[in-house]
Amino acid sequence: MIAPTSHENHRQFELPGRITVLEGNGELPKLELTTDWSTAEIYLQGAHITDFQKRGEEPLLFTSRCSRFLAGQPIRGGVPVIFPWFGSREGEPAHGFARLAAWRLQEATAIPEGGVSLRFSLPEAPARATWPEFSANYIITVTDRLAIELIITNLSPGQPLIFENCLHTYFNVGDINATTIRGLQGVGYLDKTQQFAQKTEANEAIRITEETDRIYLNTTTAVEIVDEKLRRRIQVNKRGSASTVVWNPWSAKAQAMPDFCNEDYLTMVCVESGNVAENKLSLPPGRSAVLQVEYSSTAL
């Protein structure tokens, strides 16, 4: 009897030259996608995108070589799907249960312009018992860019669905010391490294020179990562998101994380799009919330 989430059970989604289903690290099932412009890799656990790379470019996403690949353990890197809460919660997995779940692949299609689109749904699970009835669908579209939608619908007859969501994306940079993050000047943020102190971003070009863990609030603007070493700009466009989180653990935290290599902080930065803290959502019965991001890159 093959385990329900084994790669063998997903053969029907294979598309020659576009989608291959195989056993990934830790025997976790994964999909490998090939488009006219790019390649991508997605684990069924967490519907977790672990790689996206345009031909002729360095990977756009960062996934740690020290990451675990174990059922029920978060993958360190790529695009963790954070739902229905952000951050730690007493007696619960940090960042919610969505990133640990075996999402169900519902559709896999080659799209006319040469890309690939996948739709996953979050299956029923004991963790959902204390939540109002909801559906969660996750759509990944791979072309020369990476577009993602997380769609949450409140299916309960009479209860609001109150939740946080976030695409906790790890970007690959050539050298964090030669990287700036732009688009957040003047935005208020909570500084998690200083007990969530309320501050305002003073810089147009944010440089990361120490542990950085900031929840920027009430911001719908695009963010740009300017990578002087790899000579590229990464555009982080978003819709349906009022919060942007910027995180780099820096050296001490990196050494304390068993699933993150000690030097990894030098070649990654998280720019996360969602609705967290005071931006959490309260969804009336029957309504949907769509969180969308689009990641693209251009040469400097």
Report the nearest approach of ligand TA6 to the CB of residue 29 (Å). Answer: 21
Cα–Cα distance measured from residue 80 to residue 74, given in angstroms and rounded to the nearest whole number: 8
Annotation says 272 is catalytic? yes
Q: Is the peptide bond before 84 cis (omega within 30 degrees of 0)?
A: yes
Active site residue 168: yes
Closer residue to ligand TA6 in complex, CB, 10/95: 95
Examine residue 245 and tell whether it contacts ligand TA6 (CB under 6 A). Answer: yes
Dig out the tokens for 103 from the structure: 């999402």
Contact between 213 and ligand TA6 by CB under 6 A: the answer reads yes
Total binding residues toward ligand TA6, as defined by CB under 6 A? 11
Q: Supply angle C-alpha 83, 89, 95, rounded to 5.
A: 30
Instruction: For the CB of residue 28, give the shortest distance to ligand TA6 in the complex, in Å.
Output: 17
Nearer to ligand TA6, 94 or 205 (CB): 94
- Please tell me the distance from the alpha carbon of residue 53 to that of residue 41, in angstroms, as a whole number: 9
> d(Cα 102, Cα 82) in Å, to the nearest integer?
14
CA pair distance 159, 145, nearest whole angstrom: 37
Site for ligand TA6 in 261-290 (CB under 6 A): 270, 272
Q: Which of 41, 95, 168, 201 is catalytic?
A: 168
Helices (H), the chain: 250-256
Alpha carbon distance 41, 245 (integer Å): 24
From the CB of 253, what's the least distance to ligand TA6, in Å?
Answer: 8
Q: Does 74 interact with ligand TA6 (rule: CB under 6 A)?
A: yes
Measured distance CA(168)–CA(245) in Å, rounded: 8
Identified binder of ligand TA6 from the candidate list 95, 119, 145, 232, rule CB under 6 A: 95
Cite the active site residues: 168, 272
Residue ranges in contact with ligand TA6 by CB under 6 A: 74, 87, 94-95, 168, 192, 213, 245, 247, 270, 272
